[in-house]
């Protein structure tokens, strides 16, 4: 009986080691960097859109994936939401045409920027968002697509942004 239990435990441990190795190897074959882009037309002027996306304290009022924001100073904040707690900062601001945010951490297993480009379009604004990210951990690279497609957060952001102006 004990011999069978030990044998089963050995097989289970071997399977676990092989599974972890397979995940690590799969992640090692994937590129560390990714780029995702999305666009949406928003029924508001570039100035109003820029003001909204440039005000992190107001994010919980219109972003469905942000429950709380703690503003650290005029250019840095921490978002608390469906993806955990993430620190950000503004990397570039050129009102009302371009805004860039960056993950403000050197200890996370990922990093990246979001670049917002705003162009007048009809009676509103065409918003183009480009996410450039890096996932340094091979196992995380292998598992990330299973839990969150690269453009899911970006699409949700654009949907929330547009909806926030439609509701007004």
pLDDT surpasses 80 at 158: yes
User: Which range, of 39-43, 128-132, 164-168, averages the lowest pLDDT?
Assistant: 164-168
Q: How far apart are the first and last CA of the chain?
A: 70
Residue in 136, 129, 127, 118 with CA at minimum distance from that of residue 152: 129
Q: Can you give the pTM of this predicted structure?
A: 0.85
**Contact in structure between 128 and 98 (CB atoms under 8 Å):** no
How far is the C-alpha of 127 from the C-alpha of 100, rounded, in Å?
Answer: 13
pLDDT of residue 29: 85
Per-residue model confidence as pLDDT tens digits over 135-154 = 988 988 888 777 777 788 89
């Amino acid at each position: 009986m004990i011999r069978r239990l030990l044998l089963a435990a050995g097989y289970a441990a071997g399977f676990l080691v092989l599974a972890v190795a397979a995940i690590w190897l799969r992640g090692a074959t994937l590129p560390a960097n990714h780029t995702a882009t999305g666009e949406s037309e928003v029924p508001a002027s570039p100035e109003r859109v820029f003001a909204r996306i440039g005000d992190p304290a107001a994010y919980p009022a219109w972003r469905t994936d942000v429950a709380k924001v703690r503003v650290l100073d005029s250019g840095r904040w921490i978002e608390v939401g469906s993806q955990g707690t993430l620190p950000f900062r503004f990397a570039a601001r050129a009102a009302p045409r371009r805004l860039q945010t960056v993950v403000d951490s050197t200890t996370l297993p990922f990093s990246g920027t979001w670049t917002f480009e705003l162009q007048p379009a009809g009676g509103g604004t065409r918003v183009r968002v480009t996410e450039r990210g890096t996932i340094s951990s091979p196992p995380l690279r292998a598992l990330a697509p299973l839990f969150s497609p690269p453009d899911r957060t970006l699409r949700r952001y654009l949907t929330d942004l547009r909806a926030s102006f439609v509701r007004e």
